[in-house]
A and B are shown apart, each in its own frame.
Chain A
Amino acid sequence: MPSEEELYQDHILDHYEDPFHRGTLPAATHAHEDKNPLCGDVVRIELQLDEAGKIVDAYFNGEGCVISQASASMLLEKLQGKTVDDIKQFSAADMLELYGPRLTPNRQKCCLLSWKVLQSAVHAPVERSDKT
């Protein structure tokens, strides 16, 4: 349980306090939101995809612990300008590696929340009427 690594490394706290693309995307074509039932962490991701399946823009919003929110910021920064195929190929293991410090199974769920939301978002087109 005690790990040899600091969970809250500088780059994580920086992402938490100064997140990449936290907010909403009025031009979103795809969006998804989910929560971690264990702790109530919530992440919503909004994507604007072009017809070729390229990410034109992406924003996240949410509430929760440092790991859930910083990992969302890191994920969107990492995938900025990439394609839907890149997203699909980006595995859970890649996400944990991007985050950095080793996490216990329960905290991995916090880290993987945004990854799960993103994987669902590419399959979740925004209904015109339902767009916010």
Chain B
Amino acid sequence: MSALASIDASALLPESLRADFPILNDDVLDGHPLVFLDNAASTQRPRQVIDMIARVYEHDYANVHRGIHTLSERSTEQYEEAREKVARFIGAANSHEVIFTQGTTGSINLVARSWGETNLRPGDEILTTVMEHHSNLVPWQQVAAKTGATLKHVPITEDGRLDMDAFAKLLSDRTKLVAVTSVSNTLGTVNPIAEIIAQAHAVGALVLVDAAQSVPHMVTDVAAWDCDFLAFSGHKMLGPSGVGILYGKEALLDAMPPFLGGGSMINEVRLDGFTPAELPAKFEAGTPPIVPAIAMSAAIDYLQAVGLDAIHRHEQALVDYAYEQLSQIEGLRILGPAPEFRTSLVSFAFEKIHAHEFAQVLNDRFGVAVRAGHHCTQPLHRLLGLSASTRASFYLYNRPEEVDRLLEGIAAVQAMFAPRGRKRRSQQQYPTPKVGSEDHRNRIVR
């Protein structure tokens, strides 16, 4: 297992950037170095983002779009600058096509409720896929139940890629919307989004892309994709939690009714009615996530300084290496396709050992944080015949040595839970090891 030689070292980012992430150097595990491999759930943030959050609260904070006073002007200006930065980052033509929401889930629900409830009729079809996160399934189930539209699901191939033949067959003039993830948070599969959008547009369907797992890791260009709606979150790309983004084409957003009603989203209110504000305010009712949105600027600056392509190459080297090493472990089943079709994460399962055991022992003894469970993809896990899996997901600060630590941990878990003909004994026959004895020390969970 000392195959570090097989990693493409020239693709790696400098290790020095780890110094920018205070938590990676914090004593989280009592002297144990932290190996953080749960980035698909949420990443850590660099000092630059943390400092910006503190700076805004210390010097520039007030509610946005409200006052004439200095602080309100400052926070409004920074909030709108962040919107412009996000727009440029994803290739949007106009910053008013960028709506700040609570997260990817908030963004998808906005489209499902506002666009879906207005435009879907019985007989219409919403096409999604079996590999979606619950946040791109449940809102469509809700809107289908409300409107009488039918929900259909694109299957996956044996190796965990979208079945594009089945997709082509499922598309018809009844298809009104395709809701698809750009990268599966469980399989790691990178979906051919440009191709999906082109095919959907050919039958007159719109496309919503759940880009939560791709925007942090690779270049996004909504204009090149001709994307209709794109949803992603700040906290998976070095930014704060509590802010997400919905990109929508201007004409679509203009034609949609407001989702939430309240302050900010109005032009004029009378006791018997209101007229909505222009974009983007129309979809930002109430006080928005001001500081998280502003801090997206710092996260995007950081990602662009490192470079999305460089980040992608770095992660690909880690995934290639992890995949190669994991595929040599007997009894371990890797979920999803070969490395060339995936990015930034690897999920796996053993027939005999539950994912919880991996997550627990990896944490307690090896300082490795992984995700164990269904990763909010229960239908996909059911399809794979699993109730849970273990997921290691990488980001720009992870190192090949951390993959080795993961592999070391997996070997230890295998040894620990291998069947060895154990027999139950009566309770009294289990001596408690004396505190301080070698036996006791060996049992101590790190």
Contact = CB atoms under 8 A, between A and B. Distances in A.
Nearest to B417: A66
Interface in B397-446: 416-417, 419-425, 427, 430, 443-446
A130 interface: no
A17 B427 contact: no
A94 interface: no
Given A15-B424, A107-B360, A110-B356, A40 B445 contact: no
Contacts of A19: 424
Given A11-B427, A66-B354, A39 B422 contact: no
A6 B416 CA distance: 12
A3 B445 CA distance: 6
Contact of A2 (B357, B417, B427, B445): B445
Contacts of B378: 40
A47 B372 CA distance: 32
B388 interface: yes
Contacts of A14: 422-425
Contacts of A126: none
B387 A39 contact: yes
Given A18-B423, A18-B424, A8 B387 contact: no
A85 to B, nearest CB: 23
Interface string B355-387: 111001101100000001110001001000001
B423 A39 contact: no
B29 interface: yes
Interface in A1-40: 1-11, 13-20, 38-40
A66 B430 contact: no
A7 B424 contact: no
Interface residues of A, number: 33
B364 A65 contact: no
B272 interface: no
A64 interface: yes
Contacts of B30: 2
A6 B356 contact: no
A64 B387 contact: yes
A121 interface: no
Interface string A36-76: 00111110000000000000000000011111000001000
Nearest to A103: B360
B431 to A, nearest CB: 9
Contacts of A65: 354-357
For the side of the interface on B, what is the size category? 20 to 34
Contact of B443 (A1, A5, A15, A40): A5
A101 B427 CA distance: 14
A2 B446 CA distance: 5
A105 B308 CA distance: 38
B356 A7 contact: no
Nearest to A4: B444
A20 B424 contact: yes
Contacts of B364: 2-3, 7
B446 A39 contact: no
A10 B424 CA distance: 9
Contact of B356 (A5, A17, A20, A39): A39
Contacts of A2: 29-30, 32, 364, 445-446
Contact of B374 (A3, A17, A40, A73): A40
Contact of B360 (A7, A18, A20, A64): A7
A9 B443 contact: yes
A40 B388 contact: yes
Nearest to A104: B360
Contacts of A18: 422-424
Q: Which of B354, B372, B417, B421 neighbours the largest number of chain A CB atoms within 10 Å of its CB? A: B354
A42 B354 CA distance: 12
B424 A40 contact: no
Interface string A68-97: 000001000100000000000000000000
A3 B425 CA distance: 25
Nearest to B31: A2
Interface string B152-182: 0000000000000000000000000000000
A7 B445 contact: yes
A39 B355 contact: yes
A63 B353 CA distance: 11
A62 to B, nearest CB: 11
Interface string B130-158: 00000000000000000000000000000
12 contacts: A8-B417, A10-B422, A14-B424, A17-B422, A18-B423, A38-B373, A39-B356, A39-B373, A64-B354, A65-B354, A107-B356, A110-B356
Interface of B: 29-30, 32, 354-357, 360-361, 363-364, 372-374, 378, 381, 387-388, 416-417, 419-425, 427, 430, 443-446
Given A39-B372, A39-B373, A65-B355, 18 more contacts: A2-B364, A5-B445, A6-B444, A6-B445, A7-B445, A11-B424, A15-B424, A39-B356, A39-B388, A40-B373, A40-B387, A41-B354, A41-B387, A63-B387, A65-B357, A66-B417, A73-B424, A107-B356
A-B interface, 8 closest residue pairs, ranked by CB to CB distance from nearest: A40-B387, A6-B443, A65-B356, A65-B354, A17-B422, A11-B430, A14-B422, A18-B424
